[in-house]
Amino acid sequence: MLLFVVRRLGAAIPVVIGITLIAFVLVHVVPGDPAKVILYGANASPEQIATLRQQLGLDDPLWRQYADFAVNLVHGNLGTSFLTQTPVSHELLSRAPSTLILTATSMLVAVLVGVPLGLVAGMRPGSVLDTVARWISFAGVAVPYFFLALLLVLLFSVKLHLLSAIDDGTAKSLVLPAVSLGWGYAAILTRLVRGRVIDELRSDYVKSARARGSGELRVLLRQVLRNSSVPAVTTIGLQFGNILTGAAITEVIFGRAGLGSFLATSITSKNIPVVQGAVVVIGIAYVVINLGVDLIVGAIDPRTRQEAAA
């Protein structure tokens, strides 16, 4: 087990470095001069722009800019936002909790809806309940979350005045964004769990357990649910990049100050330090989450551990 963790960590380090490197290079590819962006609104002369470029180190060779960035990174310093002149780490930290809460809650919605629905459907394949569950999941995957979000706000906050249209820090205002974002994943999970349950129920060990007379419910809970949760957990880990993209749009729609929307605006305004910082944080989060997923899956199902380590 320890070896497994060490191996995975070893594999993670180059990934994190690669992510920072790629982010660094890519952002420089984006046309536009950050100095001009910063001086937006000013009647800046070419001299002012040149001075600012020098101050920002934008005229240094790229390798040196990256080296400076990397050295600072090691010291835990992510630089200063071009736009606000405040430390990037500060800006990211103030926005990270919002994104973390949103994604965690929407994944909770996905699990709370998707797993029971998949279980029920998988237990009686072909039944009415199964058909209903399958159609719900079909439709769930198909509804674009941004469209769903608009419809939900219109219904629940504008028309019915039941829930908040924008974030106000309360749990209540989290309901609509979490449902919008989590719904599609609930549908995916339903399908994954259903398929798994069907197979598990037909597997030899369940059959023998049944033959030995264990109650069906207990069989399900002990074995099937455990094994079925493997794809569920894995999906969540692997969907990270997509969830973050969804979070960016959900954040904008619901007026949430989060990482996703912050990253998006920073790319297009060439706010290089913020993009680099955000990508480092996202990259590390991705690696950590997937490491966690592997550990959980490994704990649930030892077979995968051997295979993954192989």
Of 32 and 215, the one with the shorter C-beta distance to other proteins is: 32
CB of 191 to other proteins, least distance (A): 7
Q: Does 267 bind other proteins (CB under 8 A)?
A: yes
At residue 77, what is the residue type?
N
Contacts with other proteins in 48-107 (CB under 8 A)? 49, 52, 83-86, 90-91, 94-95, 98
Angle, alpha carbons 263-269-272 (nearest 5°): 65
What one-letter code names the amino acid at 87? P
213 binds other proteins (CB under 8 A): no
Site for other proteins in 142-171 (CB under 8 A): 142-144, 146-147, 150-151, 153-154, 157-158, 161, 164-168
The Cα–Cα gap between 39 and 85 comes to: 12
The end-to-end CA distance of the chain, in Å, is: 13
Question: What six digits make up the tokens of 49?
Answer: 């722009």
The DSSP 8-state label assigned to residue 293 in this structure reads H
Q: Determine which residue in the list 192, 220, 225, 281 makes contact with other proteins, applying CB under 8 A.
A: 192
When the beta carbons of 144 and 215 are compared against other proteins, the nearer one is 144
Tokens of residue 295, six digits: 């550990």
Q: Which region among 57-65, 103-111, 210-218, 280-288 touches other proteins (by CB under 8 A)?
A: 280-288
Of residues 106 and 239, the one with the C-beta less far from other proteins: 239
Interatomic CA distance for residues 28 and 172, integer angstroms: 41
* Of residues 215 and 226, the one with the C-beta less far from other proteins: 226
- Report the sign of the C-alpha dihedral through residues 69, 71, 72, 78, in that order: positive
Q: Does 304 bind other proteins (CB under 8 A)?
A: yes
Reported in sequence order, the residue ranges of 29-163 that DSSP labels E, i.e. its strands, are none
Among 34, 79, 182, 273, binds other proteins (CB under 8 A): 34
Shortest distance, position 297 Cβ to other proteins, whole Å: 7
Amino acid at 105: T
Smallest gap from residue 35 Cβ to other proteins (A): 9
**One of 109, 120, 225, 297 touching other proteins (CB under 8 A):** 297
Strand partners, 87: 80
List the one residue from 6, 9, 18, 221 that touches other proteins (CB under 8 A).
18
CB of 102 to other proteins, least distance (A): 13
Asked if 232 contacts 192 with a C-beta cutoff of 8 angstroms, the reply is: yes
10 Å CB burial of residue 176 (0-12, 13-18, 19+) is buried
Q: How far is the CB of 61 from other proteins (least distance, A)?
A: 21
CB of 64 to other proteins, least distance (A): 22
Question: Using the rule CB under 8 A, which residue among 5, 6, 26, 132 binds other proteins?
Answer: 26
120-139 residues near other proteins, rule: CB under 8 A: 125, 138-139
Phi, psi of 144 (to 5 degrees): -65, 130
Q: CB count, 10 Å around CB of 38?
A: 22
